[in-house]
Every structure is written in structure tokens, then in C-alpha cells.
A and B are shown apart, each in its own frame.
Chain A
Amino acid sequence: MYRKHVSGLLLAMLLLLAACGTSGAPPTVGGVPAPSAAASGGASPAASASPTEVVPPAKGDKSAISVWAQANNVETARAENIDSAAQQLGFKAEAIADPTGWGDYKKKFLLAADSGQAPDIILSGHEDIAPWGQAGYIIPLDDLINANQETFKNIIPELWKSVEWNGKRWGIPQDTEARPLWYNKQKLADLGWSQQEIDSLPDRIKSGEFTLDDMIATAKQAVEKGVVKEGHGYWHRPTKGSDFYQYYFAYGGALDDGSGKLLFDKAAAEKWFAFQRRVVEEGITPKNFIGTESKIWHETVTSGEVLFFNGGVWNFADWAKNYTKDKGGEEYLYGFVGWALQPSGEKGKPGVTLSHPLVYMVTSEKASGEQQQQDAFKAVTAATTPELNNKHALGSAHLAILTTQLDTPDYKANKILQGTAYMLEYTRFLPNNADFGTYDDIVFRAMSAAENGEMSPAEAVSMVADELQTELGDKVVIK
């Protein structure tokens, strides 16, 4: 129905264009001096009115399996693995690793899918399953997964949860990660902690003995004793992102009400917002902290100036390669960096972490304009091996997705991946809900306002509740 409206509008315009084509006035339009204009079929708008002149989309060979992966220059295995798997199978493949940024990448995919020119396989965050599944751009994979149990029985069971939506599985996990609380062992020793106390910290966090309150107290002590500078006791993530929900979880919050609706737990959120404010008031986090340049954040924590800091396990590879290479890279980092779960907010409750698996999704015929979903899935299956996934995991410090991968010698030899593997047992995921983006935007702004002291935690919480109500209505449960 919608198309009709657009077409009607365009019809009038095409008449205009046709008129302008016959007038011979715009030779410059027809002869657009673009190199590939001819190849891509876009001559003049007048010409394009007749469908015979239209050349198929420049997506390469029809039979090639195409994949897009959002990946920066050290994560290219996300695309390359499909490429090499497809070649092993004798398929032609066309892989694109796109590091541009999530927002632009997803928008580009959306337009490609709407016009039937999407790649056969798309790698994205698991949260896209809901909107893309709803739109019919991707297909459910249960039958195909069941038919390939040899491979898929080895996926770490916890990860399947992230690809479930509407009672079906819509993606194959490609990687995952934990978001540890990093701590500076050297600074803890300076503070007077014994070696035994330092070494047992991860376990004490896991058991709920050491909580966020204890972390604040320790950091405050370190500032007071001059072990670290004012504001350098605790640095959380400096920019928008899913990490912050770990504190919401730490205070007993949940994002999903169990029936598939989003949940906002006011009591847990108020404790969480109060925590964000407290770290500033106690002087362990700088004021005006959210928005700090990532590069400066990394420079500072890797130079050993901060006691506790929270990031992702992948940071480790980044730090070794890009920030501390001149000081000795991994060896230097192992010298003072320790890792643990995020402490719980309540005594006796285990620590938490959050994983955000990226998943391969297979696009529908509607989205890709092709009927090679079976072959595309074969390529994904062939790429889901310990060898290929290790290339990604070890190269970019992401956690394994296969149980068989955990036992490979290479993986075992990697101290940081080995040391954080247990965290997957304590991990939580973001909900697969099409409205989570809207939810997150509101929560993040209010949370930053609470941290900056613009409004009290209670005010921020009621602000969120009001806005969620306006924006999402009965699609969100406010408790």
C-alpha cells in the first residue's frame, strides 16, 4: 500500500523528467561523468524510467555467497572466516568487513534489505534479531541447526539464549565476551593488601563477599592515602553502551519481564543511579566523566594510574597492541592488571557480567533477492570451527563460542581468555526486543544526568518512568 503512494508521487515526476529528456536540454545529466555510472546502469533519470535499461545491482556474481561484518581492522576474521569456509565448500564468496560504526552499518543494511540487495549473511549484534526478524529480513534457523548437530552441539549452551526470539533461534553466535572489573594489583599492594588478599579478590567478588560498596570504600581509601590521584579510584566506561546495565543487574534489576516485554525496575534503577552519583561524590571518579575520549581513557588506565576500571575482555588485546607495545605489551599488562566479575550491589549475591554476542544471521529471499539460504547456512556452519573461530578469538581477545575451542592448545595458552572463561556462567544478555534501543536512549541520558548531579537519582528514575510510558506505552512494564 505504501509503495503505491510513493509510485503515484513519482509518476508525476517521471513525466516531468521524460519531458526534460526530450527537450534535449540536459546533456549534462545524461552524460554524468562518473566512471562506473555506465556499469551500474544509472544513466539519466529519463532513461531509468524504462525498466529495460536497468542493470542488476552491483553485488557481484549471482552465485557468490556474500557476507557483511561490522569489524575493525583486527576483527576482520568475522568476514574472512565465512570467506574461507565458503571457498572450502567450493562456493564463490564476497566478504566485506565494515568498520564504519553500528548506526550507519545497520541503516545501510536496512536499505539494502528493503530493496532486495542485502548480503546473504549479515553479522550484527544479537539485539537486531527482533527488528529484522519482525521485518522478515532474516530467517529462523532451527531446522538447519538441528540438521547440523555435529557442529552446533558444541556451541556453549548459554549463548543460544541470546539468539532466541519468538520461540525460535535466528542466529549463530560468532563471538562473545565478558566485561570484567579490571583492577590494578600494584596499587592494591601499595594500599597494604597482602598478596593473598589480592589474589582472592575475584573469588570474593564471585561469592558476593566483596560488593560495589567495598569497591567504593577501597577506592576512596586509595585516594585518601594518595595511592592514586583524586578521581582515579574507579573509572567506568566513558561512553554510551551496554556495560552500565551490569550495575542495574548488580542491584537486582532485570530488563525483561519474562513474557517478552521490557521491564524497568524503579527500585533497582534508583540504587544503580545512586551508585553512579556516589562514585563521583566520593571522589573516586572525576566529575563530568561521561563523554571522556576513549583514547584518553585507555591511555590513563594502561599507564597504571587508576585502581579499578571496567571494560571488556577485548580491551586487553587493544591495550597490548595499541597502548603498551613500547612498554612490553601483554607482559607489561599481566604485571599489574587483574580481572574479576562486576561486584554485586548486595552482600552475598554473586558478581555479574554482561555479554553481547555478535551473531551471523541468514537473510531471507525478500532481503537478499536470492534463494541460496541453504548454501549461506552451510558457509556459516563451515566457519563455526575451533580453528577458524580461534583466529578471531585469539586475534581480538574475544571469548570462545564452542566448547571444543576451550580445549585447543592455543586457547589454553591464552591467559586472559582462559582466566575470564568462567565469567560466562555469570553472564547476562540484553533483551531481544525491538524497542530496546528507545529504552536504552532514555535510560542512558537520565543515568548520565544523575551521575553529573543534574538531577537526583530519584528524579532521574521518575523521569525515565515517565518517558518510557510516553514512548513505549504498554510495551514496557514499569515496576
Chain B
Amino acid sequence: MIEERFRARNILPYLLLLLLTSPLLVGYLWLIIATFSRRTFGLQPDSLTLANWQFLWNFDTWQGSIWAVTLNTLLLAAGLAIVVVALSSLAGYALSRLDFIGRRAFMSLTLVLHAFPSVTLLIAIYFVLRELRLYNTIAGVILVKVALEMPLGMWLMKGFFDNVPWDIERAAMVDGASRLRIWWQIVLPLIRPGIAALAIFSFISGWNEFLIPYTFILSRQRATLAVYLQQLVGDSRFVDYGQVAAIGLFQMLPVLLFFLFTQRYLLNIYAGGVKGGA
């Protein structure tokens, strides 16, 4: 978009970018080095070891197999992503296409909700879960998490629906198709990138969530990776940073890979999101 000679003329942008990004480059380099060493002095490891990665095959008696924990996390994150996408795309469609009473108020509300410090609502959320008999259930955890993701999700999906030309839809309506059918068969397939983006975003959010599953689920068979990781750094006196780094990297890897292959879509999320306000 910006012409060849325009940028080839100077390498200044590269230098600037490298300089600005250097803390991240160095930081993540340190993280990788730390996972293979007992202690580090700056970026120098004192000796290289695989001991920090033992958790992959040597299971802790109390925390159990990392793979079981990973599976739990996968199911939680995937469950969250599916529900968030389903409900957000339903609501987003209405916000984008229907001139219903209270639409503006609802739109403003979704933004205002963002001003709520969700973590400090934890105790109040507990009372709701208790009354609904959802305390100490996975369903409860997912529903809470979904609700917290919902304002952003609705806003984003609305943005994507706004981008869909409505001529096709109008034709279908003239033919007498119901709204629900139009949504499902015609419009939804057109915003696949948006769905992918929101799904990824929700997945990551569920994948890294600690406080809600830890606080609201009592059985430890249902631990997630974030809980597993947190247990290594609590007030536990034997914090082994090499191991924390390794497990942290392990937790990041799937998301990272996922992200690399789908970066295009993730970038879309913000494109869609800003649409309403752009």
C-alpha cells in the first residue's frame, strides 16, 4: 500500500521497531533460556538441564498428570468459545439488523458493562451461583465466564454483521424465510472470519482463566492449567522459577501455535469491533 521506494529509502522504521520491541524480545528470550537452566544470571544460564520439563512425563502425586489437566483446560476453553460465539452472534445479529425498542440503550449498556471490575464481583457471583445450585459445577463456571465475555462479544459480532451487505438477506426475506433461518443459513456463513476471531479470543480467555475455576470448583480432578501453574507460585516456599517458566511456556504453546495459524482472524476481531465506532 505504501510504495516500494518510499520505505526502501530508510531502515529507520526497523530500527525504531527493534528498539521499542526490545524489552519483549529480551524478555521472551530469557523465558526460553530459563526453562532449560537451573538458575540464570541475566541471559546466561549456569548450566543447561531438562529438569524443568520433567513435568511432562513425571507426574506430581498431588497435581496429577499434566495431560489430564490440559484436557480439562481444553474442554473448558472450547466450551466457553462455543457458547460465547453462539450467544454473541445471536445478539449481535439483532443489534445490527433489528430496530427494536431499547436498542440504543442496550448498545450503550454493553459499553458501560465494560466499566465493571468483574473480579471484585466474585463474591456476589458466588451468591447467584449458590441460589441457582450451580456452585461447584463446570456449567456454573462456564456460564459466569460467558457472561463476562458477552459485552465484548456482542459488540464485536454486531460490527461483523454491519459489514455484511443486506441485499441477499432482503431477497430471502421477500421469499418468506424466518429471521432465525436467515441468521443461521445466510448471514452466519458470511461472517466466518468474525466467528473465528471471537472464538479464538474467547478460547484464549478461557485457557488462561484462574480465579473463577479455582474459586468455584472444589474437586481437584477438574483443575486447569492456570490453576496448576498458580499452585507453583502461591505462598509455596519452594518456587522453582525454571519450572514455572517451563510450564508457563507449555501453557502458551498451543495458544501460540493456534495464534500463528490464525493471526489473520484474530486481527479481524478488532477490525470488526471498531466497526461500530469507526
Q: A residues near B, CB below 8 A? A: 6-7, 10, 25-26, 28-29, 32-37, 40-45, 48-49, 51, 54, 57-60, 70, 72-74, 76, 96-102, 104-105, 107-108, 111-112, 114-115, 117, 294-295, 299, 314-315, 318, 321-322, 326
Neighbouring A residues of B238 by C-beta, 8 Å? 72-74, 318, 321-322
Q: Are A98 and B215 touching (Cβ within 8 A)? A: no
Q: Are A37 and B137 touching (Cβ within 8 A)? A: yes
B31 within 8 A of A: no
Q: Are A35 and B227 touching (Cβ within 8 A)? A: no
Assembled-state Cα–Cα distance A100/B183 (Å): 45
Residue of A nearest to B146 (CB): A29
Residue of A nearest to B134 (CB): A42
Q: Are B218 and A112 touching (Cβ within 8 A)? A: yes
13 more A-B residue pairs beyond the given contacts A72-B237, A315-B237, with a C-beta to C-beta distance below 8 A: A32-B83, A32-B139, A33-B75, A34-B75, A36-B138, A40-B139, A43-B139, A48-B132, A59-B218, A72-B236, A107-B215, A114-B126, A314-B237
- Shortest distance from the beta carbon of B120 to any chain A beta carbon, whole Å: 13
Q: Are A117 and B218 touching (Cβ within 8 A)? A: yes
Q: Can you list 15 residue pairs at the A/B interface with Cβ under 8 Å?
A: A40-B137, A42-B134, A42-B140, A48-B133, A73-B60, A74-B238, A100-B214, A100-B231, A102-B234, A104-B215, A108-B218, A115-B130, A115-B135, A294-B239, A299-B39
Q: Give 8 nearest A-B pairs by CB, closest first.
A: A42-B139, A101-B234, A42-B137, A72-B236, A28-B86, A40-B137, A34-B138, A54-B133
Q: Are B234 and A99 touching (Cβ within 8 A)? A: yes
Neighbouring B residues of A96 by C-beta, 8 Å? 62, 220
B155 within 8 A of A: no
B136 within 8 A of A: yes
Q: Are B132 and A10 touching (Cβ within 8 A)? A: yes
Assembled-state Cα–Cα distance A32/B220 (Å): 21
Neighbouring A residues of B218 by C-beta, 8 Å? 57-59, 108, 112, 117
B33 within 8 A of A: no
Q: Are A40 and B215 touching (Cβ within 8 A)? A: no
Neighbouring A residues of B167 by C-beta, 8 Å? none
Assembled-state Cα–Cα distance A314/B139 (Å): 41
- Shortest distance from the beta carbon of A440 to any chain B beta carbon, whole Å: 15
- Shortest distance from the beta carbon of A72 to any chain B beta carbon, whole Å: 4
Assembled-state Cα–Cα distance A57/B135 (Å): 9
Q: Are A100 and B234 touching (Cβ within 8 A)? A: yes
B78 within 8 A of A: yes
Restricting to B143-202, which residues have a CB under 8 Å from any CB of A?
Answer: 143
Neighbouring B residues of A321 by C-beta, 8 Å? 238
Q: Are A7 and B230 touching (Cβ within 8 A)? A: no
Neighbouring B residues of A43 by C-beta, 8 Å? 139
B18 within 8 A of A: no
Residue of A nearest to B82 (CB): A33
Q: Choose one: A40, A73, A295; the contact of B136 (CB below 8 Å).
A: A40
A29-B143, A32-B83, A101-B230 in contact; A322/B134 too (CB < 8 A)?
A: no
Assembled-state Cα–Cα distance A70/B86 (Å): 39
- Shortest distance from the beta carbon of B102 to any chain A beta carbon, whole Å: 15
Neighbouring A residues of B236 by C-beta, 8 Å? 72-73, 99, 101
Neighbouring A residues of B237 by C-beta, 8 Å? 72, 294, 314-315, 318
Neighbouring A residues of B72 by C-beta, 8 Å? 35
Residue of A nearest to B72 (CB): A35
Neighbouring B residues of A102 by C-beta, 8 Å? 234-235
> In which size bucket is the chain B interface?
35 or more
Residue of B nearest to A312 (CB): B237
Q: Choose one: A45, A108, A294; the contact of B132 (CB below 8 Å).
A: A45
Residue of B nearest to A13 (CB): B128
Q: Are B87 and A26 touching (Cβ within 8 A)? A: yes
Q: Are A295 and B239 touching (Cβ within 8 A)? A: yes
Neighbouring B residues of A100 by C-beta, 8 Å? 214, 227, 230-231, 234
Residue of A nearest to B130 (CB): A115
Residue of A nearest to B133 (CB): A54
A32-B83, A34-B75 in contact; A7/B131 too (CB < 8 A)?
A: yes
Q: Are B232 and A99 touching (Cβ within 8 A)? A: yes
- Shortest distance from the beta carbon of B248 to any chain A beta carbon, whole Å: 15
A29-B83, A102-B235 in contact; A76/B136 too (CB < 8 A)?
A: no
Neighbouring A residues of B75 by C-beta, 8 Å? 33-35
Assembled-state Cα–Cα distance A301/B53 (Å): 27
Q: Are A28 and B139 touching (Cβ within 8 A)? A: no
- Shortest distance from the beta carbon of A73 to any chain B beta carbon, whole Å: 6
Assembled-state Cα–Cα distance A58/B75 (Å): 19
Assembled-state Cα–Cα distance A58/B139 (Å): 13
Q: Are B87 and A117 touching (Cβ within 8 A)? A: no
Q: Choose one: A26, A29, A44, A111; the contact of B135 (CB below 8 Å).
A: A111
Neighbouring A residues of B240 by C-beta, 8 Å? 322
Interface string of B110-121 (1 = CB under 8 A from A): 000000000000
B21 within 8 A of A: no
- Shortest distance from the beta carbon of B43 to any chain A beta carbon, whole Å: 16
- Shortest distance from the beta carbon of A18 to any chain B beta carbon, whole Å: 12
Restricting to B209-257, which residues have a CB under 8 Å from any CB of A?
Answer: 211, 214-216, 218-220, 222, 227, 230-241
A33-B79, A34-B139, A36-B138 in contact; A97/B62 too (CB < 8 A)?
A: yes
Q: Are A101 and B62 touching (Cβ within 8 A)? A: no
B271 within 8 A of A: no
A29-B143, A36-B222 in contact; A117/B136 too (CB < 8 A)?
A: yes
Residue of B nearest to A95 (CB): B62
- Shortest distance from the beta carbon of B196 to any chain A beta carbon, whole Å: 17
